Amino acid sequence: MIDNLLLGFSTALTPENLLWCFVGVLAGTIIGLLPGLGSTTGVAVLLPLTLAFEPVTALIMLAGIYYGAQYGGTITSVLISTPGEASSVVTTLDGYQMARKGRAGAALAIAAIGSFVAAIFSLIVLMAIAPPFAQFALKFGPIENLAIMILGLATIVSFSGDSKLRGFAMAVLGLLLATVGLDAATGTARFTGDNVNLFSGIPFVEVMIGLFAVGEVMYQLRIGAAEPIRARFRDLVITKSELRRSVGPIGRGSVIGFLLGCLPGAGSTLASFIAYGVEKRVSPHKDEFGKGAIEGVAAPESANNAAANANFVPTLTLGIPGGGTTAVLLGAFTIYGLQPGPLLFESQPDLVWGLLVSFFIGNVMLLVLNLPLAPLFAQMLRIPYVYLYPLILFTSFVGAYSIDNNMFSVWVVFFSGVAGYLMKLYGLPMAPLVLGLVIGPLFEKALTQTSALGDGNLLVIFTRPIAVVVLALAVLLAAGPSLASRLRRRRLPTA
Amino acid sequence: MSHLTSLRRSGEAMLYAAIALLGLVAAVVGSGYGMFGEGGRIGPGFLPVVAGALTAALCASVAVGVVRRAAHGEPEPSIEPVPDIDSTGRSEKQRVLNLWVVFGLTLVALLLVQVVGFLAAFGLLVLVISAVVEKQNVVKSLVITTAALAVVYLLFGLFLGVPLPGGMLGLGTEA
């Protein structure tokens, strides 16, 4: 282990690798700041630039773009309620509310600290137990994945507060919208109206931009609350009490993120939602959630960053991409003539350990870069809203266009913006809708495969121990609190 | 209760009812895709039918709850209270008008993309909103618009190579 680490440091600490790691982190942060452009697009777009590099240097830079973009997306989630990726959606709930109260700097700082701690934690675990953990993750077949997604949906119900029914309704609506497009198993076109743009489904990044960014602008115009935020510079710095409150959420978020991040698919998004749900359940400041609780930023940000690193467990050890960005990175490995899988650790130790150590260095760079910059980024909110909101509209539409280079994406943003405005005005919860839309295709795939494994009998799910444990957790999370309070009420008259 | 709050409450009930109807229609249409396939395995219509029916049932239940609470004069937990006059002195009527104007201008900008190109259409949108709708200083608005166009051109057009449509004027970044 120590020898491997030393080998990794000697590879990652060359001036050339340090420079490109920094360039990757910086470029990633900038890309993450642009609405619609997440880490997957960033890595895909900049991949050709790295073809002339040594493989290890290229991968270090691309990995830097990956986690840099994650943080860049957080900045826009907090400042203008525009999540860069689905995994940052839940950060907007409390991060944006903190920003509206003049605490944007603190929200960004805790996101940077939480992301850093989670990254370091997940790296240590990744270095120590990646191969055996990957073998364990292999036990997660379609049935277990289905159970995990049900757990994710149950989390939504649990954190919808007074509006559990509304949250559940919106999550199911999200699942329904996710069925638009060609059915993966049979190729049947569903709800497409013969529009080819809809064959691959409703594009969720565009929906996210519309719901959160455009919808928020319209809502602010309607309620007239959009004043510039006049926070003093010292108000933008995180306080000791906020740091203390964030320790637990960062720890729990890191563990949840790592565990779910090892699973291929929507690991990061589910992890951030579940971490938020768990925090809302255990926090002594439950009432502040949704109104600007620092735990509501610390937990999901730690979770999605831990998950982003954990995505590398199946990628490096099994050659199975953990998410969209690691799928592109897997492609990069192949371009450089490398074959990810169990033998990679043996055949290319300098590359693997150099890459893993570069994550550590990159995350230090990200923290050093972003912690002092957090209050400065937050100063952006001092721009009068009358100038800011046309710019938000402009960047949202141009960001949407750049995803697929077509006007269909732009129109999706426009109509989702109208839907987002109506949802905000009438108090319909948006985060569950997005989660339903994001996990919908994976949920249906797991459901179809489970049905096939059980020869049409979905109860086969109860024959798998891991799935049963996860389902029991889901039931506890969704129904536990109301059952407990009902029991308490029943006991009271007899007491 | 303010006029706006009462309007929003009935709007909320109507919105949930509309989504319930959408769910119902989706369930009916979805049943045409085939609920079950070979050997009783689920087919392409299974999730649309189940999710559609659940959406319809849940949203109808929420809508009924909203109407029932309104009839009993109980407060609605999901609706944030809004003042009739905002901090800048704008009345509800002015705010609604402002919203419709911005909504219309955005729609016009989207339609103009094919004619004048993406950058020109959205440059005009930013300028018109800040200088005309929000009545801000014209020079300041021009400076902000130019800076925004330059940043978008550099980042999206040059750095990321996004082929922004130039319209009939050819003012885009298409090759």
**pLDDT at residue A169 in the model:** 93
B100 interface with A at CB cutoff 8 Å: no
Q: What's the CA angle centered on A363, arms A100 and A68, to 5 degrees?
A: 60
Q: Is residue B124 part of a domain?
A: yes
Q: Is residue B87 part of a domain?
A: no
From first to last of its 175 residues, chain B has per-residue pLDDT tens of 455 566 667 888 999 999 999 999 999 999 999 998 887 788 999 999 999 999 999 999 999 988 888 777 776 655 566 666 776 677 888 888 999 999 999 999 999 998 999 999 999 999 999 999 988 899 999 999 999 999 999 888 888 788 888 888 777 666 6
**pLDDT at residue A300 in the model:** 93
Residue partners of A366: CB distance under 8 A and separation at least 6: A25, A29, A67, A68, A71, A112, A115, A116
Query: Do B97 and B165 have their domain in common?
Result: yes
Half-sphere exposure of A168 (CA within 13 A, CB side): 20
Helix count (H) and strand count (E) of chain B? 5, 0
Q: State the helix-helix crossing angle for A142-159 and A164-177, rounded to 10 degrees.
A: 140
What's the ipTM? 0.91
Q: Is residue B103 part of a domain?
A: yes
**pLDDT at residue B78 in the model:** 56
Q: How confident is the model at residue A174 (pLDDT cuts 50, 70, 90)?
A: very high
Q: Is residue B125 part of a domain?
A: yes
In this complex, do A183 and B130 lie within 8 Å of one another by their Cβ atoms?
no
- Per-domain residue ranges of chain A: 2-494
Predicted confidence (pLDDT) per residue in A117-170, tens digit: 998 898 888 777 776 766 676 677 888 888 888 887 887 766 665 577 888 899
In this complex, do A218 and B113 lie within 8 Å of one another by their Cβ atoms?
no
Rounded Cα distance between A218 and A170, Å, is 21
**pLDDT at residue A216 in the model:** 85
Rounded Cα distance between A416 and A147, Å, is 30
Select, from the ranges A12-16, A437-441, B82-86, B129-133, the one with the highest average predicted confidence (pLDDT). Answer: B129-133
Q: Which one is predicted more confidently, A440 or B90?
A: A440
**pLDDT at residue A495 in the model:** 45
B30 interface with A at CB cutoff 8 Å: yes
Q: Is residue B175 part of a domain?
A: no
**pLDDT at residue A50 in the model:** 80
Rounded Cα distance between B94 and A402, Å, is 35
H helix intervals, A427-464? 431-453
Rounded Cα distance between B130 and B145, Å, is 9
B141 interface with A at CB cutoff 8 Å: yes
Instruction: Give me the sign of the Cα torsion angle A435, A437, A438, A442.
Output: positive
Structure tokens at A90: 């839940």
Predicted confidence (pLDDT) per residue in A381-419, tens digit: 777 888 888 998 998 899 889 888 889 999 999 999 999
B141: phi > 0 → left, psi -120 to 50 → alpha, else beta; which?
alpha
Residue A380: pLDDT over 70: yes
Q: Is residue B100 part of a domain?
A: yes
* Average pLDDT for A234-259: 87
Q: Which one is predicted more confidently, A280 or A420?
A: A420
Query: Do B106 and B153 have their domain in common?
Result: yes
Poorest-pLDDT segment among A224-233, A310-319, B101-110, B115-124: A224-233
Poorest-pLDDT segment among A19-33, A335-349, A420-434, B39-53: A335-349
Q: Which one is predicted more confidently, A178 or A80?
A: A178
Rounded Cα distance between B20 and A415, Å, is 19
**3-state helix, strand and coil shares in percent for chain B, rounded to the nearest 5:** 70, 0, 25
Q: Which one is predicted more confidently, A105 or A199?
A: A199
Rounded Cα distance between B170 and B115, Å, is 9
Question: What integer best gives the mean pLDDT of chain A?
Answer: 83
* Average pLDDT for A278-284: 86
**pLDDT at residue A179 in the model:** 95
In this complex, do B33 and A221 lie within 8 Å of one another by their Cβ atoms?
no
Residues of A in contact with B164 (CB under 8 A): 398, 401
Among B122, B125, B144, B173, pick the best mutation site for testing chain A contact (most A Cβ within 10 A). Answer: B122
Residue A429: pLDDT over 80: yes
Cross-chain CB nearest to B155 (options A34, A165, A384): A34
Q: Is residue B46 part of a domain?
A: yes
Into how many domains does chain B fold?
Answer: 2
End-of-domain residue from the set B41, B71, B101: B71
How close A298 gets to chain B, by Cα (Å)? 25
**pLDDT at residue B75 in the model:** 65
**pLDDT at residue B21 in the model:** 97
Type of residue at A26: L
Would you call B38 exposed, middle or buried from its count of C-beta atoms within 10 A (0-12, 13-18, 19+)? Answer: exposed
A403 to chain B: closest CA residue:
B162
Select, from the ranges A80-84, A173-177, A182-186, A322-326, the one with the highest average predicted confidence (pLDDT). Answer: A173-177
Select, from the ranges A197-206, A345-354, B5-14, the one with the highest average predicted confidence (pLDDT). Answer: A197-206
How close B12 gets to chain A, by Cα (Å)? 5
**pLDDT at residue A36 in the model:** 66
**pLDDT at residue A479 in the model:** 73
**pLDDT at residue A302 in the model:** 93
Measured torsion, CA atoms of residues A255, A258, A262, A266, in degrees rounded to the nearest 10? 100
DSSP string covering A27-57, please?
HHHHHHHSTT--HHHHHHHHGGGGTTS-HHH
Rounded Cα distance between A454 and A464, Å, is 12
Cross-chain CB nearest to A224 (options B51, B86, B106): B86
DSSP string covering A359-392, please?
HHHHHHHHHHHHHHHHHHHHGGGGS-HHHHHHHH
A446 to chain B: closest CA residue:
B42
Cross-chain CB nearest to A401 (options B30, B33, B118): B118
B53 interface with A at CB cutoff 8 Å: no
Query: Do B65 and B7 have their domain in common?
Result: yes
pLDDT above 70: percentage of residues in chain A: 90
Query: Do B96 and B160 have their domain in common?
Result: yes
Give me the domain span that covers residue B44: 3-71
Query: Do B18 and B48 have their domain in common?
Result: yes
Type of residue at B128: V
